[in-house]
Structure 1
Amino acid sequence: MKTILRIARVELSTLFYSPIAWFLLIIFFVQISIAYLGLIESNITVQELGTKQRDFTYLLFADQRRGGLFISTVLQNIYLYIPLITMGLISREMQTGTIKLLYSSPVKLSSILLGKQLAMLAFSLCMLFLLAIIVCFACFHIENIDLGLIFSGFFALFLLLSAYSAIGLFMSCLTSYQVVAALSTFAVFAFLRYIGTVWQDYDFLRNITGYLSIGNRTELMISGLITSRDIIYYVLITIMFLMFAWLKLNGKRKSQKAIISLGQHSAVIVGVLIIGYVTSSVSHIVFFDASRPNRNTISVDTQKRLKDLGEEPLKVTMYVNLLDNTYFSGMPRYRALDVRRWEAFRRFKSNIEVDYVYYYDKVNNPALYTGNPNATFEETAQNRAKILKTDLSKFLKPDEIQKIVDLAPEKNRLVMLLEYKGKKEFLRTFEDMMIWPSEIELAAVLNSLTDGAPRIAFLQGQEERSVDNLDERGYHLATKALNDRASLINQGFKIENLDLSGQEIPAGLAALVVADPRADFSPTVVSKIEQYMDQGGNILFAGEPGKQSVLNPILKRIGVQMIEGTLVEQDEKLSADQVKSYITNKGLEFGKSISSLYKRQVPIMTRGVVGLTYEQYTDFDVSPLLETKADASWNKKGIVVLDSARLIYNPQEGDELKSYPTALAITRNMKDREQRILVIGDADFMSNGELEKSSSLVGNTEFYKGFIGWFTYGKLPIEVTMQKPIDDKINLSGSQIGPLKWIFLGLIPGMMALIGTILLIRRKRK
């Protein structure tokens, strides 16, 4: 050990008694300082403009999308420095001839190599020390900084520098030309960084290149997720290249035959791959999420759902259609990304089995058929396969896939079929920027597999709103749209139609929805609805202006009435019948989504809405859930004409300016549970037309998911509860950036240059 330390000390003195080390350290510090100052200045500007932000530690240091310091600057540029330091480690000895003295000396080759590697680790620590100076300032700048995330990032960079140093040391053993050694080191870095992007269409090669790839491992640790697999990977890469260096020098000293040397190197590679393969198995990986909000870990609720599945495997089959545009997300070359997505869940249930089935079948893709106007279906598929450079014989034909599963109801898009104890549920992809299902959608499917999906029945027969209707009055988007993430069927509900003229209300319904009936109910239908209510069934009534008389006879039983007229509101940007309703404090009982709307005072757009009145003369407890603003809305009696002159508030015509309830939450305690009824004076709030026009300024989507979930007693929709970041303030102003620039770009680099100059002068005098 003393010999190793002595060699490391000599190597470090050689390094720091030359200008190259000081020059590189100064350049490195200036580079990271410029990046940090740019990041913090832009975030201060956003903060001073009044935009509320949080998670500043992640934003400034680890965010891949916005260019965090560790990702965009350090990780993307650190490989430039190591070859310039390592290129002379052994090449210099070869060039000067001192390598022969090392061969003949009693010092072991292993000690020489370990000493030089230790010197490189010390230089790496110097680079990290400069980075730590930035972090020390950040500790004062960022309130409640996430030190766990910072530690994880430093640890990742140290492991990466260790591997890079070993690679540079080995490349230095191959030539006496230092420039050649540096260029060769660059080439190996590039190879390890991009090897994970080649040969991804072949399973066997994908596993090998995926393991060798150095690409995403550091990014994961920088974001806070430390795994035994990645630590072992860096240790193995470091050991492998140190062994390569030892084999190279030892072979030269003994004049070893090339075939023996090749066998030794191959044995090292095979050994590393075997150890790497074993330690990469999810069942053998130890995970540690160092970030304070556990951003890399699924919620506790989802963890529990996975553990509740027990020892029975969860089988996932992904069906990928060559002819659909979703094929580009499910291509074999991107399977490594899919494995990474599932790994977050395999941490808590290791026997999730993922299979892939590739097929081709008819899709709604006009561009496909336009591009092949005179081709048969089979020829179209052949052309598609040729363009995408794949073999059509690897894909199941339409008749073959249809024997396995009927995907026509799923529009033959990319979809996952989850199977557990004989039950099957689809997990879909979506037509949005994210495409893939999130933890929420997966947890909803798990709930359906284990406990069954809550059933919501929509009454039909009186011209009510239909879940199958695609026009602006219909409820298709909110309920049954296959590829809309917010659709109720993708949030874990089962949606069905119910015509009471020929059917009975089935037992076990989570809720019955009566939305905007246009025709009077028959006595038979009224009797069935009233009997359902008397038995404690949950129900939603949604009415519209002009048809109050249809629902009022039934609502009278619970002390509620829809008043005659239409609510209107003065807003120059909206038509008069577009009234904004706001959540009352009753919304705090409706789960995360609705209570969030209440706290943020986000309005619900109710277009063509009826005001409600109620009395507490029954055994039901009635509370307003939505109310209009007292100074903005009034009830307009008679027919509201929107294309004439602007509506004006006129008390003489009976207009009354006040706050009107537009949704009422009605409850009653039954023997086994609480009966829940919701009455809303507007049926458009969850219509296709309203949701298509919806924006982030209104909360219609969150509202309908929340109150439907109220009928399941909080079971659905899934609400992922995660710890919120608390590093939500930068204790700096824009005017303080100037002095920081002088410190980072002037004072500290100047001191480093001064120290280096003094050492070099003293060295020269000696």
Structure 2
Amino acid sequence: MKVTLRIARVELSTLFFSPIAWLVLIVFTFQTGLTFVDKLKLYAGYQEMGSRLSFITSAIFGGPLGLFSEIQRNVYLYIPLLTMGLMSRELSSGSIKLLLSSPVKTREIILGKYLAMMVYCLLLIAILAIFAVAGMYSIQSFDMLYITSGLLGIYLLICAYAAIGLFMSSLTAYQVVAAVSTLVVLAALNYVGLLWQDVNFVRDLTYFLSISGRADQMRDGLIISKDLCYFVLVITLFLGLSIMLLQSGREAKPLWVKIARYSLLTVTVLMLGYISSRPGLALYADMTATKTRTLTATSQQIIKQLKEPLKVTTYVNLMDDFWHMGIPKSRNKDVNFWQPYQRFMPDMKINYVYYYDTSMAEWLYKGNKGVSLDTLAKRMAKARELSLKMFMPPAEIRKIIDLRPEENRFVRCLEYNGKRSFLREYAGEMDPNPGEAEVLAAIKRLVVTPPKIGFLTGNNERAIDKVGDKDYKGSTAELSYRKSLVNQGFDVTALSLEEGDVPEDIAVLVIADPKKTLPPAVSERIIRYIDRGGNMLIAGEPGRQEVLNPLLNKLGVQLKEGILLHESRDFSPDLVMGYITTAAAATSGNYKNFWTDSVKMSMISSVGVQYTQSDFKVTEILATDSSKSWNKTGQLNQDTGYVQFDPSTGDVKATTPIAVSLTRQTKGKEQRIMVLGDADFMSAPELNRYNIRVGNFFFMFEMFKWLSYDEYPVDVSRPKAPDSKILIAKEDVTILRIILLVLLPAVLFISAVALLIRRKRR
């Protein structure tokens, strides 16, 4: 050990008596400081403009656009300059012969030189730590553990690069050749994970060899044992190869012995890497302040209910727009999608099935009119460089599973204990993959009977199978829409009461804007459903008072006569904003958040709700703004231009309830009913409204969550980020810029000049 330390000390002296080491430090400091200061200034500007910030630590340092990611992309350019002379200098000067003829062991030579590089790498990390300290004094509740994880990841990455550089330096006496060779090898290891991904065995091998992205998890606050093992094994491999290469200069061994040694070391490292990467052996440490890299406690509780392995089968349709996400070339990327869940389900079984059938890709059929499905499949397979033999034809796949109800989309089928649920991709989004809420909703459906929501039909109500502006398919049954109820765990069905009572399996009955008077038999069946304690959502519109009020009378609720109007210079007066009431905020944490943040819901063409004493406890959920809204009775003529509040016509501004909840204890449970004076709030135009910031989606989710006794949607909400404020003004960043980009590099430069002059004088 003493010899190793002595060699390391000599190598460090040689390194720092060279301008290269100092130049790398100065350039690294300036480049890192420039990125850090620019990002800090950017977010300080956002804050001064009134933007709400969150997770500032990860926004500046982590993620694919943060400071650490910038270092990951550039640091491989520095390492060859530092490692090119480690052994090449000894080989070119002939001093290697003295080392080999001395009693110094080969491993002591290699480990000593590598230890010197590890110390130098620590200096680079120390510079990063200076920026972390600057962040600590610039960001409220700075997440230091998150930064520690990122620094560890970058340090291991640099050390791995250094081990590779040391090995390449051992191969040649020319330092420039060693530097260029190191760059080539590092580039190869960064891109090898993209090669031969369509070949099963080779795919896993090249993916393991790839160093690209290995530090990403640690960069983003999650330390995984398999990543630590990877870096340790890579360092061990190249140090071992360096030792063997140097040792061969001392021994006269046959070629086959040398090859056998290299092969044994390489195979051993690969085997250990494969074993350490098994999900069941992986250990995790979430270093983020709010545990954002770990599934929520709610999700973990759902997964704990699984007593058998979860089977996931991904069905890939050659004709679907998402075909590329599941083909062999993308297999490893798709498997990584499941990594957060495999942490808690290490025995999960993942399979892939390939087929071709009709799809929802309209562009495909427009360009191939009159072409048979089989011929089109051949064309697509050829164009995408795939073998058609791997894809089952329609008749064959339907013997296994009929995916026509899923519109033959790219879909993941989850199976457990004889039950199935589906995970879908969501078109039109930057990341079409399901999130934690959707995944856990699908898993929960396997262990808990999902609530079935019945939408009344037969009286011109809002339909769940139409995509019109007034209909509900987008919010209820659209498979490709992330926020639709079917993708949040619910079952939805159209329900006619012409023939019989509400089925027992209906958890919530929805009556949305019937335009015809309900037949007496239907009304009686609805009343029987109410009497047996069934939950309901009743939504009306102006002009529907006579249709719904007879039914609502049993609940002690009525829709007021007239229409609600709202003063606005830009919008139609019948676009009313509904705000969460204080009473509602006291009943729900999410309602309280809406109330605190003054979130409003858009209610186009709505009526007020009034109530009297009844068996139900009534809570006002949404109400209008008393300073801008009023109830208009009589005829409303909007063709005359801007409709204004006119007290002379009897208009009176007042707070008017738009949505109320009704509860009572009956049949051993709490009956829950929601009555709204608007049915458009969950139609496509209001859910996708872009010209006003509204919370209709969140309100819809919260409403159905309440009606289903908090079963669905799955609550994956997390605590608010503590690092949500920049502590310095934008102007103060200029001072920080001078310190980090001028003074700090200047100190390094002066230190370098002083040391080099001192050496020259000696």
TM-score, normalising length from structure 1? 0.97
Deviations, residues 306-340 of structure 1 (Å, cap 9, x unaligned): 11112x11111100111111112223222212211
Distance 1:692 1:164, change over 3 A: closer
Aligned equivalent of 2:411: 415
How far residue 272 of structure 1 moved from its aligned partner, in angstroms, is 0.6
Kindly state the Cα deviation for residue 737 of structure 1 after the two structures are TM-superposed. Answer: 2.4
- Work out which of the residue numbers 122, 137, 161 in structure 2 matches 1:164: 161
Amino acid in the other structure paired with 1:21 = A
Query: Retained in 2: the 8 A contact 1:227–1:287?
Result: yes
1:692, distance to aligned residue in structure 2 (A): 4.1
Q: Does structure 2 retain, via aligned residues, the 8 Å contact 1:584–1:625?
A: yes
Kindly indicate whether the alpha-carbon contact (under 8 Å) linking 1:590 and 1:707 is maintained by their aligned counterparts in 2. no
Whether the 8 Å CA contact 2:166–2:242 is kept in 1: the answer is yes
SS of structure 1 residue aligned to 2:53: coil
* Per-residue deviation, residues 375-412 of structure 1 (Å, max 9, x unmatched): 43222111111111111111111111111111111111
Are residues 1:6 and 2:3 paired?
A: no
Could you say what secondary structure the match of 2:85 adopts?
Answer: coil
Partner of 2:484: 487
Deviations 1:239-273 (A, max 9, x none): 10011111111123224443332222111111111
5+ residue gaps, structure 2, are: none
Q: Which moved more, 1:629-638 or 1:141-150?
A: 629-638
Give the Cα–Cα distance (whole angstroms) in 2 for the partners of residues 366 and 507 of structure 1: 40
Map of 1:316 onto structure 2: 312
Matched, 1:464 2:466: no
SS at match of 1:536: coil
Output aligned runs, 1:154-233, within 5 Å: 154-233=151-230
Task: Provide the rounded CA distance (Å) in 1 between the counterparts of 2:691 and 2:275.
Answer: 49
Q: Deviations over 1:644-701 (max 9, x none)?
A: 3332333343322211111111111224111111111111111234334456701112
Which residue is equivalent to 2:59?
59
By how many angstroms is 1:509 displaced? 2.4
Corresponding residue to 2:734 among 732, 738, 748: 738
In 2, the alpha carbon distance for the partners of 1:663 and 1:741 equals 53
The answer for the alignment partner of 1:338 in structure 2 is 334
**Does 2:503 correspond to 1:498?**
no
C-alpha separation between the residues in 1 aligned to 2:137 and 2:603?
A: 48
- Partner secondary structure for residue 763 of structure 1: helix
Q: Distance in 1 between matches of 2:218 and 2:644?
A: 62
The letter of the residue matching 1:554 is: L
- What is the alpha-carbon distance in structure 1 between the residues aligned to residue 571 and residue 240 of structure 2? 74
SS at match of 2:480: coil
Q: What pairs up with 1:96-111 in 2 under 5 angstroms?
A: 96-111=93-108
For 2:591 and 2:660, how far apart are their aligned partners in 1? 14
Q: Equivalent residue for 1:668? A: 664
Does the 8 A contact of 2:326 with 2:352 survive in 1?
no
Q: 1:287 to 1:696 in 2, by over 3 A?
A: farther
Q: Is the 8 A contact 2:608 2:631 kept in 1?
A: yes
In 1, Cα distance between equivalents of 2:691 and 2:399: 43
Report whether the alignment pairs 1:751 with 2:738: no
In the TM superposition, what are the counterparts of 1:227-626 in structure 2 within 5 Å?
Answer: 227-310=224-307, 312-373=308-369, 375-431=371-427, 432-588=429-585, 591=588, 593-616=590-613, 618-626=614-622
One-letter amino acid matched to 1:675? Q
| Matching residue's letter, 1:70 | F
SS of the residue aligned with 1:764? helix
Q: CA deviation at 1:500?
A: 1.2
Give the counterpart letter for 2:238 in structure 1.
F
Counterpart in 1 of 2:148?
Answer: 151
1:71 is matched with which residue: 69, 72, 76?
Answer: 69
Q: 1:696 to 1:145 in 2, by over 3 A?
A: farther
CA deviations 1:582-638 (Å, max 9, x no partner) are 11123336655544322222221111111121112x221112111111121222223
Partners of 1:48 and 1:446 lie apart in 2 by 43
Whether the 8 Å contact between 2:515 and 2:544 is mirrored in structure 1 is: yes
Conservation of the 8 A alpha-carbon contact between 2:539 and 2:678:
yes
Task: Give the residue type in structure 2 aligned to 1:215.
Answer: S
Give the match for residue 649 of structure 1. 645
Unaligned runs of 5+ in 1: none
- Residue range with higher mean Cα deviation, 690-699 or 226-235: 690-699
Larger CA deviation: 370-379 vs 21-30: 370-379
- 2:118 aligned with 1:124, yes or no? no
Offset, 1:541:
1.3
- Cα distance between partner residues in 2 of 1:595 and 1:54: 19
Matched, 1:703 2:695: no
Task: Give the superposition deviation at 1:503.
Answer: 2.1
Q: Distance in 2 between matches of 1:412 and 1:758?
A: 71
Aligned counterparts of 1:696 and 1:254: Cα–Cα separation in 2: 78
CA distances 1:129-171 after superposition (whole Å, capped 9, x unpaired): 1222222222211121111111111111121122111111111
Name the aligned partner's letter for residue 32 of structure 2: I
SS in 1 for 2:215: helix
* Amino acid of the structure 2 residue aligned with 1:47: Q
Structure 1: distance between partners of 2:361 and 2:546: 46
Identical aligned pairs, as a percentage?
41
Query: Which residue of the partner structure matches residue 34 of structure 1?
Result: 34
Partner SS, residue 610 of structure 1: coil
Any idea what SS the aligned residue of 2:76 has? helix
Measured in 1, the distance between the counterparts of 2:527 and 2:365 equals 53
Q: Name whichever of 4-13 and 492-501 sits farther off.
A: 492-501
1:761 matches 2:761: no
Secondary structure of 2:51's partner?
Answer: coil
Counterpart residue type for residue 14 of structure 1: T
- Name 1:25's counterpart in structure 2: 25
Residues 1:182 and 1:610: Cα distance change in structure 2 (over 3 Å): same
Contact 1:591 1:710 in 2 (8 A): no
| Distance in structure 2 (CA, Å) of the matches to 1:145 and 1:119 | 32
Secondary structure of residue in 1 paired with 2:114: helix
Q: Secondary structure at the match of 2:642?
A: coil
Mapped to 1, the partners of 2:93 and 2:229 lie a distance apart of 37
- Measured in 1, the distance between the counterparts of 2:715 and 2:592 equals 12
Aligned to 2:678: 682
**Count of residues paired in the alignment:** 761
Q: Secondary structure at the match of 2:192?
A: helix
8 Å CA contact retained: 2:500, 2:525: no
Which shifted more, 647-656 or 579-588? 647-656
The 1:464–1:670 alpha-carbon spacing in structure 2 relative to 1, beyond 3 Å, is same
Question: What secondary structure sits across from 1:512 in the alignment?
Answer: strand
